[in-house]
């Protein structure tokens, strides 16, 4: 697979050339509060490429404290860059790294993955979950009925590979858009979904007791020493 994020500009704008036209047009017509924040590193995904459980989301949300970690903290920024190239790391799902408890992403994902973390711990969850975003650039816009960007083709390849290796896939948000862009999800037997339209936590009640047990079993296996 050809990873476009290996050539992401590391300058004032973290924006892939193939995404530039659509992102620029979007930012020009939307309100300032909803723009795509290309001054911050994008998050097309987080986690191991071969993680046993794949979580599908709409986009990484923007928080005013993001700049503190993603730009000003050199170590955190370097980890993000290494994850974009899928280097082997102790905490590839960097938002579950307890070294950064004040990172906005730590609070957000600890809330959604509270039950699995309680069951197996932060490190196992960091190795066991891979998050894929429909849109890679941070924004608080809903992005409903918007065309995906060119860079999504790589994300789609990652998901296709996950389906081929029989990984568990959980549609957390943007269920309609994910199925529209990846039709294979409609017939994939290991594709689960959150029952609640507003709560995306991975719990037995929200995804089903049997499905939750499958998730726990999957993330507990094949974890690097």
pLDDT for res 145:
64
Taking residues 41-64, report their average pLDDT. 96
Is the per-residue pLDDT at 224 higher than 60? no
* The pTM of the whole model exceeds 0.85: yes
Q: Which two tokens stand for residue 203?
A: 């719990």
pLDDT tens-digit map of 84-107: 999 999 999 999 999 999 999 999
Averaged confidence pLDDT in the chain: 93
CA distances from 135 to 72, 119, 173, 174 (A): 24, 30, 12, 10
Q: Which two tokens stand for residue 38?
A: 């290309």
Is the per-residue pLDDT at 48 higher than 80? yes
Q: 31 pLDDT band (50/70/90 cuts)?
A: confident
Give the angle 116-120-121 at the CA atoms, nearest 5°: 90
Q: 204 pLDDT band (50/70/90 cuts)?
A: very high
Q: 225 pLDDT band (50/70/90 cuts)?
A: very low
pLDDT for res 222:
65
């Amino acid at each position: 697979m050809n990873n476009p994020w290996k050539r992401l500009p590391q300058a004032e704008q973290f924006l892939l050339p193939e995404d530039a036209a659509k992102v620029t047009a979007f930012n020009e017509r939307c309100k300032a509060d909803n723009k795509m924040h290309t001054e911050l590193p994008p998050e097309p995904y987080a986690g191991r490429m071969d993680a046993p459980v794949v979580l599908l989301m709409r986009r990484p949300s923007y928080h005013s404290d993001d700049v503190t970690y993603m730009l000003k903290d050199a170590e955190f920024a370097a980890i993000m860059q290494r994850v974009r190239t899928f280097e082997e790391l102790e905490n590839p799902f960097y938002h579950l790294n307890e070294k950064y408890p004040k990172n906005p992403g730590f609070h957000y994902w600890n809330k959604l993955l509270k039950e699995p973390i309680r069951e197996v711990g932060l490190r196992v969850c960091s190795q066991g979950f891979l998050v894929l975003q429909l849109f890679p650039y941070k924004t608080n816009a809903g992005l409903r009925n918007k065309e995906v960007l060119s860079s999504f083709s790589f994300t789609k390849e990652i998901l296709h590979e996950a389906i081929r290796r029989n990984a568990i896939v959980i549609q957390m948000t943007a269920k309609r858009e994910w199925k529209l862009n990846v039709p294979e999800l409609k017939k994939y037997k290991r594709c689960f979904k959150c029952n609640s339209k507003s709560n995306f936590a991975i719990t037995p009640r929200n995804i089903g007791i049997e499905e939750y047990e499958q998730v726990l079993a999957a993330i507990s296996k094949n974890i690097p020493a």
